[in-house]
Amino acid sequence: MPASVLKDESKAFPYWQLTVLALCRFSEPIAFSSILSYSYVMTIDLLGGTEEDDKDASFYSGLLVSAYAVAEALTSVGWGTLSDHYGRKPVVLIGLGGVALSSLIFGFSQKYWVALLARFIGGALNGNV
């Protein structure tokens, strides 16, 4: 194969790689913001659904929503350090796997503390920042 053909292939824009990377990056905002529309109703259900729980549901709903962002803020520097040391691909894969697993646990949670812990772990394992 002539050298000029090899040079042209190496300079080609990596559309496929950027598409995969964009899809990976797109998962984080979905995992963070999808809860916003149903967090209040879910919190009432997880707390037991009594009138007393209705009074505190907005506070606990706010905790549930913000746990992801707080954990993400606390661990983002550590993920950056790991990415510098081990490379981007392993960190992104661990982040995607962690978010997927925590979203699954969150979806099947029957108790408020399990849902809160799943959201916190999802934010902590998010290496896509």
54-82 pLDDT, tens per residue?
Answer: 778 899 999 999 999 999 999 999 999 99
The residue with greater pLDDT, 66 or 9, is 66
Residue 14, by phi and psi: left (phi above 0), alpha (psi -120 to 50) or beta? beta
Does 129 have pLDDT greater than 70?
A: no
Which residues fall within 8 angstroms of residue 91, CB to CB, at 6 or more apart? 79, 82, 83, 127
Structure confidence at residue 82 (pLDDT): 92
State which amino acid sits at residue 99.
V
Query: Could you tell me the two tokens for 89?
Result: 């691909």
Question: For 4-21, b where at least 16 C-beta lie within 10 A, e where not — what string?
Answer: eeeeeeeeeeeeeeeeee
Structure confidence at residue 113 (pLDDT): 96
> In which band, very low, low, confident or very high, does the pLDDT at 121 lie, cut at 50, 70 and 90?
very high
Q: Share the mean pLDDT of the chain.
A: 86
Question: What's the rounded Cα separation, in Å, for the pair 37 and 34?
Answer: 7
Question: What's the rounded Cα separation, in Å, for the pair 119 and 128?
Answer: 16
Q: Which of 127, 129, 65 is nearest to 96 (CA)?
A: 127
Q: Which of 58, 61, 54, 38 is nearest to 112 (CA)?
A: 61
Residue with tokens 């925590």: 102
